[in-house]
Amino acid sequence: MIVKPLHKILIANRGEIALRIMRTCRELGIETVAVFSAADQTAPHVLAADQSYYIGPPPPGESYLAIESLIAVALKAGVDAIHPGYGFLSENPEFARRVREAGLVFIGPTAETIAAMGDKTAARKLARSAGVPIIPGTEDAVVGVEAVEKFCLDHGFPILLKAAAGGGGKGMRIVREGSELRSAFLGARSEARSAFGDDRLFIEKYLQSPRHIEFQILGDAFGNTIHLGERECSIQRRHQKIIEESPSVAVDDELRSVMGETAVRCAMACKYVNAGTVEFLVDRDGKFYFLEMNTRLQVEHPVTEMRTGLDLVALQIRIAQGERLPLRQEEVGFRGHAIECRICAEDPANNFLPASGRICHLRTPSGPGVREDRGIEEGGEVGLYYDSLLAKLVTWAETRDLALARMRRALMEYEIVGVQTNIPLCLFVIDDADFRSGSFTTEFLHDHVMPEGPGLPENLLDASAAVSAFVFHESRKRNGQGNGTGWKAEHGDRWRNQRFEPGSEA
Amino acid sequence: MISYTVNIAGTTRTVVVENDGTAEIRESGSSLHVRRLSRGEFSVTSGNNAIRVVAFPAKNVIEVLTGGQSLTATVESEQTRLLRQLQGSSHRTGLRKEIVAPMPALVVRLEVETGQNVKGGQGLLVLEAMKMENEIKAHHDGRVKEILVRPGKIVEKGELLILLE
């Protein structure tokens, strides 16, 4: 195989991951092409790229998921490769195939591998044949709600309904009793249809309180496959990861080497080329089960980068160019502890429902051991068309305790106004004694409920009250004393938070 | 020198503000000095302590950020507050009959029909925002009086979805 250097790459994505990929491209001297929807005309990823092309209206189906338009733009812009990022078309085998047929390089595994691993029932079969333990469940997709009822009769509750066509928590429902079954089945099916265009569901026995631990793997086109250690991603809400870290407190050297070898075996079974992740669930006894394989760069990849000192995007590009893996398993060095918090547009006071708004103020953390990958800037609009992930905050230190202290410090430095975020939730988890001691599972946020209302010290509340009164006072001076309320007379004689009005909560 | 009532994080404070930024909290007797650093950034000093506070006026409130927490403050002048107390304020209470959208979203499907009896906690309809489905539930037992949306409709935050009776 001949090495074919890439000179120009189209990034078929938006937000923080598009920017993260462009940063590596710039360092490697590779030109970048951004694509954008009508909602993203002035988005940071557009401004960061060397060139940018409009691809369609805001709904993803008409822009970031429009295979036809993306390939047309790639050919017009004269790129040699497309990086799909994560989400959108990153795990769409049709897209990978069309990119290849257009004579371009797809930075990721082959369409065949994506298809094999994208069908979660097929992936389970493949894992099993490679000697990787899997969770008991149905071998194939179930046809109707009656088939689910039958499985439950045979195996008991709780069970997990999962979309055969995809992961990431979309189209997934836990069913703990018979009465929930029908609505869970319909809900999961409709969510699967809208997220993946495929509403097939299969069943897994639901593992009580497992830990979610995944292994980063890398494979080249010469059959060399290595792993870059684990990431623990047990802190989740509604199957969405919130906090990830490496190493996992639940994995000792022995388990790490067994799981790592298993992950590599799994990747080799599907002739995996490029970066991928093998996800496992680990039960209380340290027994682990194959969950799924993600055939793309993960959101949480910086945790591995901080711990190994490697640039995963650079390695993806080198592999895609036809290079050999530049390092062997025994050359992978691990140092210290890395932890990541996903900063999402969610309203803690509104049951963590997605929040939107215009970011009127943004000041991000820095200092020793802090990395922040973001896709937003001050003045930017957070809409409802795309993922709620605004930024990823990663800290590194010699030990877990130090990395957590650093994360706490960095979260306190993070200032964002105009859209509600889950930063208070991240702080709540980081400060929790069980999380600190390492005794937690994917059920953590079920068992640990964030108290309502912030627990701020008196001096901060005094300062906040003083500033609020001052801001009000100044606006009142500007607008004339009038009715003595200042800001907007039409809102009545009192500034009232709409949230507290009866009927506005769900 | 004007006195304001500030409601923040479930507490009420009376703040006396001067034009030069001097602020006194009547309840605690603390004396503070507010300086504006930029449009929404402030320093608040008290003795040898300086605190950074970010504050922006939003619709009917002031959004405040300090110490890693974001808060919502409501402010009214002491004069207005007294006037309101004299007139007697009435709080709207009782059952919530109006089901409104908690966020901008797409209506995915309806789970009830007009005239149907529903129980508290029962799902009424499903909204989708940022690719996640969210089921909107009834707060209490009742009957569906009117459904104002249909699947496929994009709704704004606060938009009326269903009326119960």
The predicted complex's ipTM stands at 0.81
Q: Which residue has the higher pLDDT, A494 or A198?
A: A198
Q: What is the pLDDT of residue A163?
A: 93
Q: What is the CATH number of domain B98-164?
A: 2.40.50.100
Q: Which of A170, A162, A161, A167 is nearest to A194 (CA)?
A: A170
* Chain B partners within 8 Å of A421 (Cβ): 70
Question: A496 burial class (0-12, 13-18, 19+ CB within 10 angstroms)?
Answer: middle
For residue A11, the number of C-alpha atoms closer than 13 Å in the C-beta half-sphere is 32
* Residue B34 to chain A, least CA–CA distance (Å): 6
Residue-averaged pLDDT of chain B: 87
Choose the mutation target among A413, A464, A495, A504 for the interface with B, i.e. most B CBs under 10 Å.
A464
Q: Are B142 and B165 in contact (CB under 8 A)?
A: yes
pLDDT of residue A289: 97
Q: How confident is the model over B88-98, as a mean pLDDT?
A: 53
d(CA A383, CA B152): 18
Predicted pLDDT at A364: 97
DSSP A377: -
Domain boundary among A186, A205, A224: A205
Residue A321 lies in a domain: yes
Angstrom distance (rounded) from CA A196 to CA A65: 11
For testing the chain A interface, which of B5, B38, B60 should be mutated: the one with the most A CBs within 10 Å? B60
Do A218 and A247 share a domain, yes or no?
yes
- What's the gap in Å between the CA of A391 and the closest CA on chain B? 15
Residues forming a β-bridge with A201: A142, A163
Residues in B closer than 8 angstroms to A163, CB to CB, are none
Do A308 and A382 sit in the same domain of this protein? Answer: no
Q: Which two tokens stand for residue B51?
A: 């605190």
Q: Which of A155, A188, A205 delimits the end of a domain?
A: A205
Question: For chain A, what percent of residues have pLDDT higher than 90?
Answer: 81
CA distance to partner chain B, nearest, from residue A91 (Å):
16
Contact residues on chain A for B161, CB-CB shorter than 8 A: none
A88-96: long-range contacts, CB 8 A cutoff, minimum separation 24: A88/A12, A88/A13, A88/A60, A88/A64, A89/A12, A89/A64, A89/A65, A90/A13, A90/A295, A90/A296, A90/A297, A91/A117, A91/A118, A91/A166, A91/A294, A91/A295, A91/A296, A92/A67, A92/A118, A93/A118, A94/A67, A95/A12, A95/A67, A95/A70
Please give the share of chain B, as a percent, with pLDDT higher than 90.
52
- What is the per-residue pLDDT for A488? 42
With beta carbons less than 8 A apart as the criterion, state whether A68 and A10 touch: no
Number of Cβ pairs closer than 8 Å across A and B? Answer: 234
Query: Is the confidence at residue A164, as pLDDT, over 50?
Result: yes
Architecture of the domain spanning B2-87: 2-Layer Sandwich (3.30)
Are A309 and A354 part of one and the same domain? no
B156 touches chain A (CB under 8 A): no
Considering the domain architecture, whether residues A300 and A349 belong to the same structural domain is answered as: no
Contact A454 B100 (CB under 8 A): no
Q: How far is A219 from chain B (nearest CA, A)?
A: 31
Please provide the size of chain B in residues: 165
Q: Are residues A186 and A230 in the same domain?
A: no
User: What is the greatest pairwise CA distance in chain A?
Assistant: 79
Task: For CATH 3.30.700.30, list the domain ranges present in chain B.
Answer: 2-87
Catalytic residue among A20, A98, A256, A296: A296
Per the CB < 8 Å rule, is A467 touching B44? yes
Q: Give me the pLDDT at residue B86, please.
A: 64
Would you say residue B137 has pLDDT above 80?
yes
Confidence category of residue B97, pLDDT binned at 50, 70, 90: confident
* Domains identified in chain A, total number: 5
Q: What range defines the domain where residue A406 resides? A: 342-442
**Contact criterion met (CB < 8 Å) for B23 and A494:** no
Is the domain of A251 the same as that of A359?
no
User: Do A233 and A149 sit in the same domain of this protein?
Assistant: no
Asked if residue A259 and residue A213 are part of one domain, the reply reads yes
**Helix residue ranges per DSSP H, A372-443:** 400-413, 423-431, 433-437
Position A336 pLDDT exceeds 70 = yes
Helices and strands: H and E segment counts in chain A: 16, 22
Q: Ramachandran region of residue A267, left (φ > 0), alpha (ψ -120 to 50) or beta?
A: alpha
Q: A123 lies in a domain?
A: no
User: With contacts defined as CB-CB under 8 Å, which chain B residues touch A347?
Assistant: 103
Query: Is A130 part of a structural domain of the chain?
Result: no
Q: In chain B, where does the domain assigned CATH 2.40.50.100 lie?
A: 98-164
Residue B82 DSSP symbol: H
Which residues of chain B are within 8 Å of residue A466 when distances are taken between CB atoms?
Answer: 15, 17, 23, 25, 32, 34, 44
Closest CB to A468: pick one of B19, B62, B103.
B62
Q: Residues A80, A126: contact at Cβ < 8 Å? A: no
Residue A296 among the catalytic residues: yes
The whole-number pLDDT of residue A505 equals 32
Is residue A44, in this structure, part of any structural domain at all?
yes
The answer to whether the CB atoms of A463 and B51 lie below 8 A apart is yes
Cis, peptide link before residue A5, omega less than 30° from 0: no
Cβ neighbours for A169, distance < 8 A, ≥ 6 positions apart: A236, A238, A239, A240
> What residues of A are in contact with residue B1 (Cβ under 8 Å)?
none
Mean pLDDT on A427-431:
95
pLDDT of residue A493: 35
What is the CATH classification number for the domain harbouring A262?
A: 3.30.470.20
Q: What is the DSSP string of A468-486?
A: HHHHHHHHHHHH-STTS--
Residues A296 and A396 in one domain: no
Which has the higher per-residue pLDDT, A315 or A1?
A: A315
Q: How confident is the model at residue B95 (pLDDT cuts 50, 70, 90)?
A: low
Q: Does A327 lie in the same domain as A225?
A: yes
- Retrieve residue A149's tokens: 């009822």
A88, closest residue in chain B (CA to CA): B131
Model confidence at B88: pLDDT above 70: no
Q: Given an 8 Å threshold on Cβ–Cβ distance, is B59 in contact with A484? A: no
Paired with A342 in beta bridges are A392
**Are A259 and A312 contained in the same domain?**
yes
Same-domain check for residues A317 and A219: yes
What pLDDT is recorded for position B91?
A: 40
Is A455 a domain residue?
Answer: no
